[in-house]
Amino acid sequence: MKVFDIPGKISGEWNGDVSAMIDTWESYSISLEDFKNAVLVKGVAYASSRGVKAWIVDSSRAKGTFTQEIQDFIGTDVFPKFAKIGVKYFITISSSVSSVTNMTVKNYAAKTGPHGLKLVTVDSVSDALKWLKDNA
C-alpha cells in the first residue's frame, strides 16, 4: 500500500504482513520540508495507526547525501518519534551505486541506539522482510 511519493526522491509503502514501513530512496537531495512531510507526517501517521514494528530504508538505488540539517533532524526528531509510535527495528539497505550515499546511511543509522531502536543492516528488501518474519 503506497503511503507517500515524491517522484525522483522517495516513496513509502506499508507492508502489513510484517507491520513495516518501507521507504525507497532514489535521491537524498531533498528539502527538510519535503522530508518531514513524507516521513514524519504521512509515514508516521499511517504506520502508527497500524501497529508498526519496523521501518525499512531501502537506499540500494539512492544517490546523493542528506544535508547536515536533515541528519541532525533524524537524530533529534525522527528516531524519538519512531520509538514513541512502536518502531522496534530500523533496517537499512545500503546503496549499491554510491559510496558517498553509504556514508550518509551510516551517519544517520548510528543515531538509532540512544532511542532504543535495534539497527539491522541487510542486502535487500526481501532480506529485510525475511529477517522480520524470522525475528520480530
Residue 52 lies in domain? 2-135
**Intervals of the chain under pLDDT 50:** none
Q: What's the pTM value of the predicted model, to 2 decimals?
A: 0.90
**Number of domains the chain is built from:** 1
- What is the domain-level CATH number for residue 110? 3.30.750.24
Give the pLDDT of residue 114.
62
| Burial tier of 17 (Cβ tally within 10 Å: 0-12, 13-18, 19+) | exposed
Say which residues have a Cβ less than 8 Å from residue 8's Cβ, sequence separation at least 6. 26, 27
